Copies of this chain bind each other. A is one copy, B any other.
Amino acid sequence: MKKQSFAPTMKDVAKEAGVALGTVSKVVNGLPVGDSYRVRVEDAIRKLNYQVNSYAQGLKAGKTYTAALLIPNTIDPFFAAVAYHINIALIKRQYRMLLCCTDYDPRQEQEYVVMAQQNKVDGIIGLTYNPGLIVEENTPFVAIDRPMGPKIPCVACDNFGGGQLAAEKLADLGCKHVAFLRVGSSLDNEPNKRKAGFENGCLSRGLSCEMKIINDGAPYEEFETFLSEHIRDGKLAFDGIFCVTDRLAWLVLGTLRRLGQRVPEDVQLIGFDGIRAFGSIDYHCSTIVQPISDIAEMCVDLLLRESALAKPPLVCLPVTYAYGGTTREP
């Protein structure tokens, strides 16, 4: 068996790739170099099985041991939980975290991306809904829920699988005619896959399914109208409803009660996210739970990985179903 007798160095990589040592250093540290150079360096790194020397890395100038989190706010409990778990994951690794609540303001986001490019922070984890955000592919950036390009890793829960799981649960619990309620986003993002997964689950389990999708910004009352139009002689046409978020499920729960429908006796309801009252008490509804702590760990792990290699463009983490009072007891 052929075995390398000592570990390859950065010089070996430079020689193999036919580039300057500085170019290898830039690639390893995620700094901008021309595409063709980067490909050659990455090929050489793989060929030689070069391992980055983390100790030497730590000594390089300009390392701030600070990462930034871009998130719309920490008022929404899903965002609040993401901020908490990413903070804890960074602190565990001796990193500090700059928090930037963007309130969906694109200027803030672009400013932090510039900071990362100037090495004022070591990297950014961003949950952003800004379609115009420009992140150059060498910027150390990890996206949550929204793909930002092939070189920027995106971490999300398995949204497709979650939608499918919701349909399967409703089928298991005896539902025949179900509805899917969603506030739609025009942005290409991972949570949009919940719909396709739910449709798929309905199809495979023989559930009839009706969809009501309203645009982001449209009034919630459209769902009330939809539901009340589907009541004949006091009876709702659906025995199961899947809502795209727990927040929507909570609103729908109130509407169903006002319309005289009993939950879960007349109609069972499943949300998505796994939000608990006051952050730690009961679930607000039966729900597909996002693994927020695992998502946070994965984001931080991908961001702080020293090499530009081995950063997958999309990582989907598994969801689970939790009973929260709006379905029949398991």
Chain A residues near B (Cβ < 8 Å): 66, 69, 73-77, 80-81, 83-84, 87-88, 91, 96-101, 103, 108, 246-247, 250-251, 275, 277-281, 284
Contact = CB atoms under 8 A, between A and B. Distances in A.
Contact of A277 (B73, B80, B250, B280): B250
Contacts of A278: 76-77, 246-247, 250, 275, 284
Contacts of A88: 101, 103
Contact of A87 (B96, B99, B280): B99
9 contacts: A66-B98, A73-B84, A74-B87, A83-B99, A87-B101, A91-B108, A247-B278, A250-B281, A277-B277
Contacts of A277: 250, 277, 284
A103 B293 CA distance: 15
Which 3 pairs between the two chains have the least Cβ-Cβ distance?
A75-B279, A80-B80, A99-B99
Contacts of A247: 278, 281
Contacts of A97: 98-100
Contacts of A81: 74-75
A95 B81 CA distance: 23
Copies in the complex: 2
Given A96-B100, A98-B99, 10 more contacts: A73-B279, A75-B81, A76-B280, A77-B279, A84-B101, A87-B99, A88-B103, A91-B100, A246-B278, A250-B281
A54 B133 CA distance: 34
A244 to B, nearest CB: 13
A242 to B, nearest CB: 18
Contacts of A87: 74, 99-101
Contacts of A96: 98, 100
Contacts of A250: 277-278, 281
A318 to B, nearest CB: 22
Nearest to A83: B74
Contacts of A83: 74, 80, 83, 99
Contact of A77 (B69, B77, B99, B284): B77
A80 B280 CA distance: 13
**In this complex, which of A74, A103, A247, A277 has the most chain B Cβ atoms within 10 angstroms of its Cβ?**
A74
Contact of A80 (B69, B103, B279): B279
Contacts of A66: 98
A77 to B, nearest CB: 6
